[in-house]
Amino acid sequence: MTSRLLSDAHRYVLRCLSTHRGVHCCSIFTSISEVAHAVYPDSPLGPDAYHEYETLLLQDYEELVKKCETKSGQPVDSNTLGNLTFEDEGWSRFTSTEDEVPSHEASPTGKNIYEDNPIGKRVDLGQRLLVSVHHFPMILCPFSPRVFVLPSEGSVAEACLSAEHEDSLSAGLPSLSTGLPSDGDEVPPAATLTAHFLYHLAAKMDLKMEIFSLGDLSKTVGKILTDMSSLYDVGRRKRTVGLLLIDRTLDLLTPCCHGDSLVDRMFSALPRKERTSSSASIKGSQAQLKLGPSSLERVPLEVQIPIGKILTEEDSNIDDSRLSDCIEAFLCGWDSYNSASQMVDLINFSKKTSDEKLCPAELLKGSLVSTENFRGTPYLEAILDRTTKDGAILVKKWLQETLRRENITINVRTRPGFASKSELQPMIKALAKSHSSLIRNRGIIQLATAALYALDESCSARWDAFISAEKILSVNAGDTSQSLVAQIGDLINKSAFAGSDVKRSGKMELSQGLLSFQDALLLTITGYILAGENFPTSGSGGPFSWQEEHFLKEAIVDAILENPSVARLKFLHGITQELEANLNKTKADKTKETSTDQLDIDDFDDDQWGKWGDEDEDKDNKEQAYDDMQLKLELRDRVDNLFKHLHKLSSLKSKNVPLREGPLAFESNLSSNPCTNKGLLYKLLTKIFGKYDVPGLEYHSSTVGRLFKSGFGRFGLGQAKPSLADQNAIVVFVVGGVNGVEAREAQEALSESGRPDIELILGGTTLLTPDDMLDLLLGQSSYI
């Protein structure tokens, strides 16, 4: 089962077939439809994609077996087959050299045979292996029954949302909604895949969609969806649902800011699962030589909740040796078909963990949603709808209820209306003390451990520092441009000083509550978006005057020279090593000057003239000064490019047509309005539920609807435009991603509307944290 294109999963499928002997039938379920495979630009498959892939997979597998037989000259063992062709696991090296895995063009058309070792007979592969490919459209990541995103390493989430041009910011974000036709007729790959995903999702739920869109890319997705619905949904009566598509670039401020959401804090604090090496990274260099990348790499959404760390801290009484034996026995009985060498590896791994005095519970770390535990879903759903403080209190309440149900008593002093680490940690340890309780209650234990990490001082101090800095920027944005620039410059200078101080002291990380230089860059992005909303454009394209912007540029240049290693961002590619070498030389020169000055003072009586006649040293110093000047000029050019990118971000309000016209344009300036601190999604849903007109919101009528509008409309038989608020169920999908704050605000807008009859479902391309936004806007996938 895969959520990737068949061409991306091909290498992994081949490895599975070559590793597991005795396979008679291989069934592949993909969430990408046959039509989506055919229209995707980088897919080698045509209209009959599934049947074509079945044939190609058989051909490549036969060729693979034949090559291995030729190389070894012996009967092919499945382990040998795997070792000969694949050195690493996962989705690796699908487009590597032609010698290893045959290309589709090089595959033989005739059927070959392979030798089955246990039987010793040569069997025809066409009869031996049956391959079938099926469409399985329901692969998604639901956080709750009302919030979902797409799989982070799936083809739909990682497809490119915009090509590189004047109005685009990043491959992972839609272009600015200028309302003008794009330069080319090419539709971004993600628009096609997203449309097909939403269509098949609605089809499986037997729903007919009334489609509305806000933003240029959402309009493109809506048109594709409407065309598909007109072709396939004729003559059937279905339940109607409203679909609202929104471009992420209409509101970049909300995901960039650190809002009041426990779920957002969890995903920012917890470590993520390591990413499997994708074929996208291999094909990236080739794709960039053409029209730009067709896909990007997103951070996996699967958080790793380190329960073992909580259990191995002081006063934990869990029996390490006994749990070690249990895990070893479990591994031994897991798969009776495993070879002896694999079994030895598993047992050695188990012994190694106990030898290193690591708690075996470290092996049990899991994600937020546990499919085996039915209580995991209502837990996470309740957390999504609450603020950080309310969510933490709710977690404490659930822990207390679970302890009562298990008849476990602990002596912990609790304060009503408050939840802290000192209260939650003893409860978690008490529940995890016995193995049966640990397994039975792992859903609440995992969620409570995640909350514990999010509320830990090391993580919460940084988050709270961000919140206070963002509040100060917001206040200054309502004042003057000079005060906002001074505040941004102060944040950059403080982060540079903190980073250089860390380097001098030899520490590995910043002290609690201090922001790094990359954090300051994220706040600079926030400041520029706020400036674009509050100040008219002054100077050459930016919201600040030339003098104000020059002050910021110099602050960033100085910060990079002080801390070159902490800013491994796209606009510094190619000069990071030179910057580090320059910093090391500067430090060495300072040390040398200090020692030389001391020496000169000591020897002043003996030689009053000091050093004399060092012409060669002066020449070297001049050359070094020239190199330093060249480096600084190059760095200033890079920083100029960074500020051109920031100018795009400050023009979000002026270039995005839906934000420039109508009631959505002015709400950010009304201080008395309670919606001021809310995101665009909340404001938009409030207007929709109140049945207000929203400029820029386009309704996509079906073919029949267009016929009524154009033809029969002349005879008074025209069809009235439906209202989104008239639907009993509304699906909101944000093209580009959502965050936890928006999930809570969407439910707030619904509850405040007094419409309990409406069922609201929120979806998005991925779950965005502020760090993800920094990576999208300044990292590898940005168009800086």
Q: How would DSSP label each residue in 62-84?
A: HHHHHHHHHHH-SPPPHHHHHHH
Residues 415 and 484 in one domain: no
Residue 103 domain-assigned (yes or no) = no
- Give dist(CA 606, CA 292) in Å, integer: 68
Q: What is the pLDDT of residues 640-661, one digit of tens each?
A: 989 998 988 888 888 887 776 6
Question: Does residue 577 surpass a pLDDT of 80?
Answer: no
Q: Is 187 in a helix, a strand, or coil?
A: coil
**Are 363 and 408 within one domain?**
yes
Q: Which residue would you say has higher pLDDT here, 153 or 568?
A: 153
- The structural domain count of the chain equals 4
| pLDDT, tens digit, 9 for 90 and up, residues 202-237 | 888 888 889 999 989 999 999 999 988 766 555 567
Cβ neighbors of 576 (< 8 A, separation 6 or more) are: 564, 565, 567, 568
Least confident of 14-18, 364-368, 617-621, 622-626: 617-621
Q: Which long-range contacts (CB under 8 A, 24 or more apart) does 700-708 make?
A: 700/211, 700/212, 700/213, 700/222, 700/223, 700/225, 700/226, 701/226, 702/226, 702/229, 702/230, 703/230, 704/230
Tokens of residue 711, six digits: 């033809």
Is the residue at 287 inside a domain?
no
339 and 197 assigned to the same domain: no
Alpha-carbon distances of 532 from 176, 458, 550, 773, rounded to whole Å: 14, 33, 18, 18
Name the burial class of residue 333, with classes exposed (0-12), middle (13-18) and buried (19+) by CB atoms within 10 angstroms of its CB. exposed
In a domain, 420, yes or no: yes
Beta-ladder partners of 700:
211
Residues 649, 688 within the same domain: no
- Judging by DSSP bridges, how do beta strands 147-149 and 121-124 pair with one another? unpaired
CB 650 within 8 A of CB 531: yes
Nearest Cα to Cα of residue 782 among 257, 172, 155, 295: 172
What the block records as the tokens of 778 is 């300044």
Cβ contact 156:140 at 8 Å: no
> According to the model, what pLDDT value does residue 92 have?
37
Cα 563 to its chain centre, rounded Å, is 26
CATH number at residue 249: 3.40.50.1910
- What is the per-residue pLDDT for 329? 59
Whether 329 and 351 map to the same domain: the answer is yes
Inside any domain, residue 296? no
What is the pLDDT at residue 117? Answer: 36
The predicted model gives 143-147 an average pLDDT of: 88
Residues 401 and 488 occupy one common structural domain: no
Instruction: Tell me: do 151 and 132 sit in the same domain.
Output: no
**pLDDT mean over 425-437:** 86
Residues 428 and 465 in one domain: no
Instruction: Pick from 96-105, 327-336, 370-379, 648-657 the range whose average pLDDT is largest.
Output: 648-657
Residue 729, Cβ density class (10 Å: 0-12 exposed, 13-18 middle, ≥19 buried): middle
Instruction: Please check whether residues 476 and 530 belong to one and the same domain.
Output: yes
| 649 in the same domain as 683 | no
pLDDT of amino acid 111: 36
Res. 524: pLDDT tops 80:
yes
pLDDT bin (cut points 50, 70, 90) of residue 134 is very high
Q: Name the least confident of 277-286, 606-615, 719-728, 774-783.
A: 277-286
Which of 96-105, 412-421, 510-519, 762-771 is predicted least confidently?
A: 96-105
What pLDDT does 472 receive?
A: 93
Range name among 62-76, 247-261, 734-748 with the lowest pLDDT average: 62-76
Find the domain containing 417 and state its range: 304-455
Alpha helices in 144-261 (DSSP H): 155-158, 189-204, 216-232, 253-256
On whether both 433 and 542 belong to a single domain, the answer is no
> Residue 198's pLDDT is what?
92
- Residue 543: what pLDDT? 85
Task: Quickly tell me which residue has 């004042």 as its tokens.
Answer: 479
Query: For the chain, what is the largest distance between any 2 Cα atoms, rounded to a whole number of angstroms?
Result: 111
Q: Say what the alpha-carbon torsion angle 373, 145, 446, 371 is, to the nearest 10 degrees.
A: 30
Report the C-alpha gap between 350 and 370 in whole angstroms.
Answer: 24
Please say whether the beta carbons of 158 and 296 come within 8 A.
Answer: yes
More confident residue, 286 or 423: 423
Does any domain span residue 397?
yes
- Judged by average pLDDT, the poorest of 201-210, 352-361, 510-519, 748-757 is 352-361
State the Cα torsion 266-271-273-276 to the nearest 10°.
Answer: 120
Percent of the chain with pLDDT over 70: 67
- Mean pLDDT over each residue of the chain, to the nearest integer: 75
On whether both 429 and 543 belong to a single domain, the answer is: no
Q: Which of 407-411, 574-578, 728-732 has the lowest mean pLDDT?
A: 574-578
**Domain membership flag for residue 661:** no
Band of residue 441 on the pLDDT scale cut at 50, 70, 90: confident
Q: Is the pLDDT assigned to residue 742 strictly greater than 90? A: yes
Identify whether 39 is part of a domain. Answer: yes
Cβ neighbours of 533 (radius 10 Å): 18
pLDDT at 618: 60
Residues in a beta bridge with 458: none
Dihedral sign for Cα atoms in the order 400, 401, 403, 407 = positive
Most confident of the following: 164-168, 399-403, 713-717: 399-403
Predicted confidence at residue 671, as pLDDT, reads 39
Give bridge partners of residue 212 from the DSSP assignment: 244, 699
- The Cα 648–Cα 551 span in angstroms is 19
Q: How much is the pLDDT for 654? A: 81
Q: Is residue 387 part of a domain?
A: yes
352-355: long-range contacts, CB 8 A cutoff, minimum separation 24: 353/324, 354/320, 354/321, 354/324
The stretch 60-76 carries a mean pLDDT of: 71
What average pLDDT does the segment 276-293 reach?
A: 43
Most confident range (mean pLDDT) of 12-21, 206-215, 669-678, 696-705 is 206-215
Q: Can you give the pLDDT at residue 291?
A: 38
More confident residue, 187 or 581: 187
pLDDT for 704 equals 47
pLDDT bucket at 630, cuts 50 / 70 / 90: confident
Instruction: Count the Cβ atoms, other than its own, within 10 Å of residue 200.
Output: 20
Phi, psi (5° rounding) for residue 697? -80, 115
